[in-house]
Chains A and B, each alone.
Chain A
Amino acid sequence: AQSVAQPEDQVNVAEGNPLTVKCTYSVSGNPYLFWYVQYPNRGLQFLLKYITGDNLVKGSYGFEAEFNKSQTSFHLKKPSALVSDSALYFCAVRDLTGGGNKLTFGTGTQLKVEL
């Protein structure tokens, strides 16, 4: 089965500093990888995805992610963090097992950006 792992429950960073939220994946075949963000009492919002092509993917709100096949990683990054980036971030992989076309999510990483 396809899976992703987010090794950090929480990441703290000062506003203006770069941030990284880590994700590693385990898939058979080519991975389709996604990042979503969830604000309190809100649904999941799409940030970016990697399907094929350039290993550096740019997404919404200034976020980007780097696909690294040798390290099976897909870390989320932003050059300069904002307090408003504080939220819960999920890495996900497209999973075709069971005959469907679903997303399998990691456990999430709480990002806290402080002044």
Chain B
Amino acid sequence: EAGVAQSPRYKIIEKRQSVAFWCNPISGHATLYWYQQILGQGPKLLIQFQNNGVVDDSQLPKDRFSAERLKGVDSTLKIQPAKLEDSAVYLCASSPPDTPSGGYTFGSGTRLTVV
């Protein structure tokens, strides 16, 4: 099966600019996650969707980050305006609806550099 697709692979922007990332999960996976991985740290969950509804966005900086998953398939994550500390790899993952025991598949990520 095709994996989790993410684009772009790399992005360099200046602080205060806006940026958007795109994710297409594995077909049939109802749950979609966005993680932020800062250099030297483990990935941290930003937001979890179940179909097109938000399940957990408690760690999403809502003053500058937004995400949507229209139609319950692909998703976009936006940052506006970006700060230097947003430089990180943004990972998208998906899992089937009945996955109490795991089954998370990750995309290759988007590496964002804010200068």
Contact = CB atoms under 8 A, between A and B. Distances in A.
A102 B109 contact: no
B75 interface: no
Contact of B101 (A32, A42, A99): A32
Given A46-B104, A49-B101, A100 B109 contact: no
Contacts of B91: 43-44
A36 B37 CA distance: 14
A105 B43 contact: yes
Contacts of A102: 33, 45, 48, 56
A103 B95 CA distance: 11
Contacts of B55: 99-101
A99 B59 CA distance: 13
B42 A90 contact: yes
A51 B100 CA distance: 10
Interface residues of B, number: 27
Nearest to A107: B42
A63 interface: no
A41 interface: yes
A69 B100 CA distance: 20
B102 A34 contact: yes
B101 A100 contact: no
Contacts of A45: 106
A43 B43 CA distance: 11
Interface of A: 32, 34, 36, 41-46, 49, 51, 90, 92, 94, 98-108
The 7 A-B pairs of least Cβ separation, nearest first, read A100-B56, A105-B42, A43-B106, A44-B106, A98-B56, A100-B48, A43-B108
Given A43-B106, A44-B93, A100-B45, 20 more contacts: A32-B101, A42-B108, A43-B109, A44-B91, A44-B106, A45-B106, A46-B102, A51-B101, A90-B43, A94-B101, A100-B55, A101-B55, A101-B95, A102-B33, A102-B45, A102-B48, A104-B45, A105-B42, A108-B40, A108-B42
